[in-house]
Structure 1
Amino acid sequence: MNNGTVLEQAKSFLYKNGRLLDRRRYEYHFEGGSAEAVIDALRAYQNPDGGFGNALEADIRCPYSQPVPIEMALHVMDEVALYAPDVLDGIIRYLRGITLPGGGLPFVFRSASEYPHMPWWKTDRDDVASINPTGLVMGLLSKQTTNTAIFEEHWFLKNVAYVWSVIDNEQPSGYQDGIHWIVFLQHAADQERALPQLAKIDDWLQRPETIERDTEAEGYVHKVLDWAPARNSYAAKAIAADDLNLHLEALVRQQQDDGGWPICWPTVSPGAETEWRGWVTVERLKTLKSYGML
C-alpha cells in the first residue's frame, strides 16, 4: 500500500465532491486545520431554534431541525474536541423543547416527509421515544465538560432515565442500538450501574451474528471497522487481531477509483450519495490513521 497515494486520492475526491464540512474535517485530521474552522462549517446547518437540519443527515433533505442531526453535530464537536458554547447552547435549547413528557427523543419528526427523504425517515407520530438517537445524544452530552450545569436539569434527567429504562428492560437488536447503548454506558454518571450492563454488551458483542466478520459481505451490514473504527473503540475487545488486520487490508482495497469510499445503503439522490461518501471517506481515513496505516 502506498500510504501517500491513498491520502492524495482521497483528498482529490473530497475537494471535487465533498461538502465544506467534510473538507474542513479532512483538513483538521490530516493537514493541521483548526477545530474552529470545522465548527464554523457546522454552524451552517444549525437553525434559529438551536437544532440541526438542512441535510446535515444527507437523506433528510428538509431544512427543519430533526433529532438525528443533533447526534451528528455532537459527533463533529466531539471528534475535534471543541464543544463550542454557542452551538452547544442552541442544541440544549432545542433538546429542552423536544424532550418527550416521559423522557426520550423521537427518531424523526413528521416534517421530514415534507421534503425528499428515504423511507426510513417517515413517521406518522412525533411523540414516540427512540433509543436512536437518545442514547448517543445523552452519552456525548454526558461526556462534554463545556456545560455541566445541564446534568441537573429536568429534561436531561428525564432523557437519562429513559435510556436507563431501555437498557434495563430490553436487548440491543443490532448495530444502531448497540452503539447508542455503548456510548451512553461509557459516559453515564452512574458507572456502578453501567458496569454490569457493559458486561452484558460484552457478551452480546461476542455472538457470531453481532459483528459482521466477512470482509466481502454486501448490503447494509456493519463490519469489524464499523464497530471498532479506532484503536480505543469499546468494541475492539471483541475482535481478534487477525480479523482486524483482514478488515484493514480490505478497507484499503475498497477505496474507489475516484479516491472516495463507497457506502452500503441506498440514498435519496445522487447528490446525497456524494455527500454521504464525503462523510464516510473522512471516517475511513480516520480509521486508517488510528491503526497506523496512514
Structure 2
Amino acid sequence: MKVLSTKAYKGAMDFILEKGRPLEKSLFQYEFNNGSAEEVLKALKSYQNEDGGFGNGLEADFRLKASSPMATSVALQHLVRLADHPQADEMITLAIQYLEYTFLEERQGWLAVPPEVNDYPHAFWWSVHDNGMSWIDENWGNPSAELIGYLHLFEDKVQVLQVPKLVDQAVQHLLELKTFESEHEMYCYLRLLAMVPAQRTEKVERQLTKAVQSLVKLDRENWEKYVPFPLKFIPTPEANHFGIPAFKVEDNLDFFIDKLEEHGRITPPWEWTTDLDVWEQAKQEWSGTLTLGALISLRTFNRL
C-alpha cells in the first residue's frame, strides 16, 4: 500500500502554513498539530456578517462581501464539528437566524447566491441571470438539502420554519429525481443524510447508489479534470461505497499521493474566464483548501 512520504507531507504542510488563508492554517493546526478550536473560530468569524450569514469570499470562487446561503453552508461544514464550543454555538445561532430570514417559501429552500454576486469578481458559473438564479440553482438540493440538515441538527435554535416537514420534502425530492445532473446536489444530500441518519432507508440508499453510479468518474485520467471522483462520495473506509469497487478508492488515494509527492500541493482543476488577476489569488486559496482536504482524506484512510 502506497503512503505519503514524510518529505511530501512536510511540503504540503509548509505550503498550507505559508500560502494558505488563516482559516486553512488554523484548520491544519487543529487537525494535525493539536491546534486550538479558538483559532479556527477566529478565522471563520472574519467571514460572518452582521446578519449572521457568511460571505467575504469564504467560498473562494465568488468574492461577494454580503452573505449568501452557499457561503453559509461552507461555514457550517466547519462549525458543526466545533458545535460544543461556546463561540461556535453563538456563530451557529446567528447563522440559523440568517437562514430563516432568507428562506424562500416559493422554493421551500434557498437560492445559492444573491444577484449582488455579479458586482464582485467571480467564476462564471456563479453569475446570477435575469431570472434571479445562477446555474447552480437549477438543482434544488445545492445547497438547500444541506442547509435543511443544519436546521435539523440545531432545531432548538429554529424559531419559525417547520424542520421535520422540510426534511421530509428534501428526501422526497431526492427520491423523485429521474436523472442526476449535479454531483454537488448529491454531496449536499450526503451531508443532509449524515445529519438525519433516520432518513437513510433502503429506498434512499438505492436512490443514492443510482445517483453515484451515474455521476462518479472511475478512471484516473479523468481525475486531472474537475470531476466527481470516488473519494467525493466515500469520506471514510466504513462509508457506503455505493457500488464503487474498493480498488478504485485505493487508486484514487494513490492519485492524490502521487500529486503531493510531485507538486507538494493540490491545485484546482478549474479556472475562471474573467477577473484573471483575482483568479490567481482565488487559485492559491483553493490550493490551500484542496491540499488540506487531501491530507485529511489520506489520514482517514491510513495513508500518511
Q: TM-score range by the shorter chain?
A: 0.7 to 0.9
- For residue 222 of structure 1, what is the aligned residue in structure 2? 228
Q: Gapped runs of 5+ residues in structure 2?
A: none
Decide which of 229, 247, 267 is 1:262's aligned counterpart: 267
- For residue 52 of structure 2, what is the aligned residue in structure 1? 50
Q: Is the 8 A contact 1:140 1:183 kept in 2?
A: no
- For residue 115 of structure 1, what is the aligned residue in structure 2? 120
Q: Is the 8 A contact 2:73 2:146 kept in 1?
A: yes
Secondary structure of the corresponding residue to residue 251 of structure 2: helix
Per the TM alignment, residue 126 of structure 1 is displaced from its structure 2 partner at its CA by 4.5
Q: Distance in 2 between matches of 1:226 and 1:53?
A: 24
Q: 1:19 to 1:155 in 2, by over 3 A?
A: farther
Structure 2 matches for 1:102-251, cutoff 5 A?
A: 102=106, 103-123=108-128, 124-126=130-132, 130-142=140-152, 144=153, 147-150=154-157, 153-154=160-161, 156-157=163-164, 159-160=166-167, 162-171=169-178, 172-188=180-196, 191=199, 194-205=201-212, 207=213, 209-217=214-222, 218-234=224-240, 236-251=241-256
Secondary structure of the corresponding residue to residue 254 of structure 1: helix
Q: 1:117 to 1:155 in 2, by over 3 A?
A: farther
Q: Is the 8 A contact 1:59 1:117 kept in 2?
A: yes
Q: Gapped runs of 5+ residues in structure 1?
A: none
- For residue 277 of structure 1, what is the aligned residue in structure 2? 287
Identity rate of aligned residues, in percent? 26
Structure 1 segments, 4+ long, off by >4 Å, are 79-83, 125-129
Amino acid at match of 1:293: R
Q: Distance in 2 between matches of 1:252 and 1:82?
A: 33
Q: Is the 8 A contact 1:219 1:264 kept in 2?
A: yes
Q: Distance in 2 between matches of 1:262 and 1:256?
A: 13
- For residue 91 of structure 2, what is the aligned residue in structure 1? 87
TM-score by length of 2: 0.85
Q: 1:15 to 1:34 in 2, by over 3 A?
A: same
Q: Is the 8 A contact 1:134 1:159 kept in 2?
A: no
Q: Distance in 1 between matches of 2:101 and 2:244?
A: 40
TM-score by length of 1: 0.88
Per the TM alignment, residue 183 of structure 1 is displaced from its structure 2 partner at its CA by 2.4
Q: Distance in 1 between matches of 2:50 and 2:221?
A: 44
